[in-house]
Amino acid sequence: MKLHIKKGDMVQVIAGDNKGKQGKVLKVEVAKQRAIVEGVNLVKKATKPNAQNPQGGIVEKEAPIHISNMLVLDPKSGKPTKVGRRLGEKGKLVRYAKKSGEEIK
């Protein structure tokens, strides 16, 4: 399944408790249609002591958000935009921002 969001994209959340927040996509779960965005949708999780955290305790980490609740940021203007696909050079499909027409890398 093709999604309009990929790992490394800059996105803005457009719905939910984190509406308006922006961040970089760290991971995309294609089967669940969810993505984890840096610094957005933070949840507190109790952890047992382990090698990384010998004390244990409460850790804040990002939880996944459904991809329908985010839009990719336009590389030209930095505003949220829809994503389209068109044939680029060498006959490959490339993603582009519908607002500016700019190609999304």
Q: What is the pLDDT of residues 14-59, one digit of tens each?
A: 999 999 999 999 999 999 999 999 999 999 999 999 998 899 999 9
Does the residue 41 lie in any domain?
Answer: yes
How many structural domains comprise the chain?
Answer: 1
| CATH number of the domain to which 83 belongs | 2.30.30.30
**pTM for the predicted model, two decimal places:** 0.84
Does the residue 47 lie in any domain?
Answer: yes
pLDDT of residue 2: 85
Does the residue 105 lie in any domain?
Answer: no
Give residue 30's domain range: 10-97
Q: Residue 62 burial (CB < 10 Å; 0-12/13-18/19+)?
A: middle
Does the residue 1 lie in any domain?
Answer: no
Does the residue 15 lie in any domain?
Answer: yes
pLDDT of residue 89: 86
Does the residue 5 lie in any domain?
Answer: no
Does the residue 80 lie in any domain?
Answer: yes
Does the residue 93 lie in any domain?
Answer: yes
